[in-house]
């Protein structure tokens, strides 16, 4: 059974690689963005609370996000086959919560994988994605701000998982198939 956390700056390819690897390994791809959208669509209690925040342009509080993660990790496919967390944890406090949650539900994370891509390449990728997906609000200024926020809030997770002895860094600045092949070799 494989249980992974994907780390990396916006544009590093976490979502794409997580989907490909989850499919290849037959494990659950757990994206916090997908969970939020599904909960809102289902109009669950958590979804209604999350939507209230989202409609005000506010971030969804950690407490709601943590409840959603707890619920998703307890579902049959994640319990029996394993999982990849994509987009969670986003800070050390969330990582500490995840450690406690995994202990509570009798699971553990095998690896935290950091997809590393140089900043200028990330900007290039995100500007290209903004053009392709017709997202005019993703300007270079906004993208660079997102990268600063990542460095401040999420990058400390690299040290956190390094200290736990489960961090593996992968060069994400290669062809898609090459990165996928490297990840498959790492987890099999």
Domains and CATH numbers, the chain: 2-117+156-182 (3.40.50.300)
Band of pLDDT at residue 153, cut at 50, 70 and 90: confident
CA distance 72 to 157: 22
pTM across the whole model: 0.88
pLDDT at 59: 67
**Mean pLDDT of the 79-98 span:** 93
CA distance 90 to 95: 8
**Mean pLDDT of the 88-109 span:** 94
Tokens of 89: 């944890």
Backbone angles phi, psi at 76, to 5 degrees: -55, -45
Band of pLDDT at residue 60, cut at 50, 70 and 90: confident
pLDDT at 57: 63
Q: Summarize pLDDT for 133-146 with one digit per residue, the tens.
A: 887 777 899 899 88
Backbone angles phi, psi at 31, to 5 degrees: -105, 125
CA distance 10 to 12: 6
Q: Which residue has the higher pLDDT, 55 or 68?
A: 68
Task: List active site positions.
Answer: 14, 90, 129, 135, 146
What residues are paired with 2 via a beta bridge?
A: 82
């Amino acid at each position: 059974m494989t249980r992974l956390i994907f780390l990396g700056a916006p544009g590093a390819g976490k979502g794409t690689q997580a989907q490909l690897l989850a499919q290849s390994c037959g494990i659950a791809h757990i994206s916090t963005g997908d969970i939020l959208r599904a909960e809102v669509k289902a109009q669950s209690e958590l979804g209604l609370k999350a939507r209230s925040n989202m409609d005000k342009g506010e971030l969804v509080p950690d407490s709601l996000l943590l409840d959603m993660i707890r619920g998703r990790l307890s579902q049959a496919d994640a319990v029996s086959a394993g999982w990849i967390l994509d987009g969670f944890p986003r800070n050390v406090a969330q990582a500490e919560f995840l450690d406690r949650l995994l202990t509570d539900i009798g699971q553990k994370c095998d690896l935290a994988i950091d997809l590393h891509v140089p900043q200028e390449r990330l900007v290039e990728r995100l500007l290209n994605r903004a053009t392709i997906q017709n997202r005019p609000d993703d300007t270079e200024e906004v993208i660079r701000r997102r990268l600063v926020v990542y460095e401040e809030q999420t990058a400390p997770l690299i040290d956190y998982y390094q200290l736990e002895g489960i961090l593996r860094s992968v060069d994400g600045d290669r062809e898609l198939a090459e990165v996928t092949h490297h990840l498959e070799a790492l987890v099999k």
